[in-house]
Structure 1
Amino acid sequence: MTRSHVLPVLSALALAACAEEAPPPEVPPTALVAVAEPASDPRGIVTGIIRSGRTHQVATETGGRVVRLSAAIGDRVEAGTVLATLDTQGLALALDSARADEARLAAQAEERRRRAGRFQTLDGSGSVSRAEADAARAEALAADQALAAARSQRAEAARRLGTATLRAPASGVIVSRQAELSAQLQPGAVLFEIEPDGAREIVSPVPAQALADLTGSGFTQFRFSGETGTARFLGVSARASATGAREARFAVVGGSPPIGAAVELSLGSAGETGVSVPAAALVNDRSGRAGLFVVGPGNKLRLVPVSLLELVAGRAIVTGEVRAGSQIVSAGGNFLTSDMVVRPVRATR
Structure 2
Amino acid sequence: GQSRCGGTGRARVRLLLAAWVVITALGACRREAAPVEVKSEPVLVPPESVAVVEVRKLSTGPRIAGSLEAARRAVMRAETNGAVVDLETEIGDRVERGQVLARLESQALEQAVASARTGVRTAEQAYAIAAAQLARTERLYRAGGVAEQDVEAQRNATATARAQVDEARARLSSAVDALSSATVRAPFDGVVSERPVNAGDVVTTGTHLLTVVDPSSVRLEASVPSEHLPSLRVGTRVRFRVRGYPERDFVGTIARIAPAANSETRQIPIIVEIPNRSGALLVGLYAEGRIAARSREVLSVPAAAIAGTGEATTVTVIRNGRATQVPVEIGLRDEQAELVEIRSGLERGERVLLGPERDVASGTPVEVLKRPEAEPEPETQTN
What is the TM-score when the length of structure 2 is the normalising length? Answer: 0.55
3-state SS, counterpart of residue 252 of structure 1: strand
Letter in 1 for 2:302: V
Task: Give the Å deviation of 1:155.
Answer: 1.9
CA deviation map 1:3-49 (0-9, x unaligned): xxxxxxxxxxxxxxxxxxxxxxxxxxxx9999999696999655554
Query: Which of 199, 222, 238 matches 2:239?
Result: 222
CA RMSD of aligned residues (A): 5.0
Q: Which residue, 271, 281, 286 being the options, matches 1:258?
A: 281
| Residue 131 (structure 2) aligns with | 113
Letter in 1 for 2:282: I
1:119 Cα deviation after fit:
2.3
Structure of larger gyration radius: 2
Answer yes or no: is 1:343 the counterpart of 2:368. Answer: no
For residue 71 of structure 1, the aligned residue among 89, 95, 98 is 89
> For structure 2, which runs of at least 5 residues remain unmatched after alignment?
1-46, 305-334, 354-366, 376-383
Alpha-carbon distance between aligned partners in 2 of 1:212 and 1:111, rounded to the nearest angstrom = 73
Specify the alignment match of 1:232 in structure 2.
254
The CA deviation at 1:109 is 1.6
- After superposition, the Cα gap between the structure-2 partners of 1:40 and 1:151, relative to the gap in structure 1 and judged at 3 Å, is same
Per-residue CA deviations over 1:104-145 (Å, capped at 9, x if unaligned) read: 222222222222222223333333333223322321221122
Distance of 2:50 and 2:105 partners within structure 1: 60
Q: What is the DSSP-based 3-state SS (H/G/I as helix, E as strand, rest coil) of the residue aligned with 1:192?
A: strand
Deviations 1:84-106 (A, max 9, x none): 11111221121111111112222
Alignment deviations for residues 209-240 of structure 1 (CA, whole Å, 9 cap, x no partner): 8x567524472442554344242263479559
Moved more, 64-73 or 43-52: 43-52
Q: Partner residue of 2:308?
A: none
Structure 1 residues 265-288: Cα deviation after superposition (integer angstroms, max 9, x where no partner): 3656899865399xxxxxxxxxxx
Name the CA shift for 1:249/1:275 in 2 (closer, same or farther; >3 Å).
farther
> What residue number does 2:177 align with?
159
**Counterpart residue identity of residue 231, structure 1:** T
Say if 1:208 and 1:118 are closer, same or farther in 2 by CA, change over 3 A.
closer
Provide the secondary structure at the position in 1 that maps to 2:149.
Answer: helix
Residues 185-205 of structure 1, C-alpha deviations (whole Å, 9 max, x = no match): 332333222222544312457
- Secondary structure of 1:119's partner? helix
> Structure 1 residues 180, 32: closer, same or farther in 2, change over 3 A?
farther
Once the two structures are aligned, what percentage of the paired residues are identical?
A: 21
- Post-superposition offset of 1:147: 1.3
Amino acid at match of 2:80: T
Determine the C-alpha separation between the residues in 1 that align with 2:276 and 2:290. 13
Alpha-carbon distance in structure 2 between the residues aligned to 1:343 and 1:208 = 50
Q: How many residues align?
A: 281
Deviation at 1:80, TM superposition (A): 0.7
Give deviations 1:235-254, integer Å, cap 9, x for gaps.
Answer: 47955999x98875323379
Give the alignment of 1:90-129 within 5 angstroms. Answer: 90-129=108-147
Q: Which residue identity does 1:344 align to in structure 2? A: E
The alignment partner of 1:110 has SS state of helix
Cα gap change, 1:121 to 1:169, in 2 (>3 Å)? same
